[in-house]
Every structure is written in C-alpha cells, then in structure tokens.
Amino acid sequence: MIKPIILAMLFALSTPVLLAAGPAMKAVAQEAGHDHAHEEHHHEEDAHAEHVSELNGMRSVHAWTRASHKGDDALVFVSLENESNKTILFRGGEFDHAKSVELVGFTMQDGKDLYVPIAQMPIEAGQTMVLAPKSLALRLNRIDEGLHEGEMVEMHLLFDVGEMHVSVNVEAENAMHHSHAGHIHK
C-alpha cells in the first residue's frame, strides 16, 4: 500500500518528471490513476478506431457523408487502400437505414451533376481508391431517417474478400471533405 505522504508527493510531480524517474515511479503513478500519457494513447487509439477499418488487406480511412434529410439520397466518401498483393474488387455497401446502396460514378449530363451506378471497381495491389465528391461514391438511396452533422453512423463496405464494418462521420450539408482530412493513420 502506498503511504499518504508518498501519494501527495507523486501528485505534486508533473507527468514528465514521473516518466523520467523510471518504471517504478511510473507504476506508482498509474496505480494512483494519474498516467496522462497512457490516457492520451487510449484517446488516440479510440480516434484511430473510428477512422480506420481493415479486412483481408483492405483499409478504409475517413468514411464520411453529408448531413441529409429523411427520404433523401446521401453520398458516402472514403479512401480505400489495398495493402494486399492482389487486386480486390469493391462492390458497394450496405446500410440498414436506406432502401438500397449503390457504388456510383460522377458525370455531367446536360450541364447537371449526375451519379451513375457502377457494378464494381477493381483496386489494384498497393493502390488507393478515393471516393470523393464529384468522383466515385456510395449512394444511400432514400434514407429512412435524417443524418445530422456530428453524428456517426455504421455501415458495411462490400469487397470480393468480405464485408468490412465502418463508422461514417456525418459532416455539414455542404461539406466537400472530411473535417479530419489531412492527418495520417498508421
């Protein structure tokens, strides 16, 4: 058991001093519940888990969509990284709160933006495919509840190697990129 005077001295020390003092002091600080570096590491892991999913050599990073109203279509965007040594086919997705989900590609017709269905897209070994506004996307057809900025919704991405669960951040209605875009996930 740690004596009260030792606890008081430990609480007075800053985290860098505790870490520099060695493993024994760090163990005492952890026992006392004051290992801030450990807490920050868990926070980074939790944030990483929200942004990255992996399945059989495929990684999805930063899945996001725009806020949308009940009955509307919503587009989901994500970076897909094929870290395997073979081509993987991306076939679309599943979302419990939409009539259907389609992989779509952007085009213009008569001066209007148009997304047309695509059966599947190959992702070559070592390559990244980015689903982004005015490019490729997953279209959630006729969502049965509104998507509100700041929420996170769950869905599945479908590949020929299996089904990947992803968490999708809901951004502003007019967003053109993920609000956390630009930082790197290892």
Instruction: Look at residue 39 in the predicted model and tell me its pLDDT.
Output: 36
Choose among 80, 139, 94: nearest CA to 114.
Answer: 139
> What pLDDT is stored for residue 77 in this prediction?
97
What residue ranges define each of the domains in the chain, with the CATH number in brackets? Answer: 4-49 (no CATH), 54-171 (2.60.40.1890)
Q: Which regions of the chain does DSSP assign to beta strands (E)?
A: 52-55, 58-66, 74-82, 88-94, 98-109, 112-117, 121-123, 128-131, 136-143, 152-159, 162-171
* DSSP per-residue letters across 23-74: HHHHHHHHHTT--HHHHHHHHHHHHHHHHEEEETTEEEEEEEEE-B-TTS-E
64 near 50, Cβ under 8 Å?
no
Q: What is the pLDDT of residue 177?
A: 60
pLDDT, residue 37, reads 37
Helix (H, G, I), strand (E, B) or coil at 12: helix
Question: What is the pLDDT at residue 173?
Answer: 79
Kindly report the backbone phi and psi dihedral angles of residue 157, in degrees, each rounded to the nearest multiple of 5, phi listed first.
-100, 140
Which residues, 6 or more positions from 46, have their beta carbon under 8 angstroms from its beta carbon? none
At 87 the pLDDT is: 98
pTM value is 0.69
Angle between helices 23-31 and 4-12 (to 10 degrees): 100
Residue 112 confidence (pLDDT): 93
Predicted local distance difference test score (pLDDT) of residue 20: 34
Q: How many CB atoms lie within 10 A of CB 5?
A: 8
Q: One-letter amino acid identity for 66?
A: R
Pick out the chain residues at pLDDT < 50.
1-49, 181-186
Question: Token pair of 12, please?
Answer: 């007075």
Question: Which pLDDT belongs to residue 179?
Answer: 60
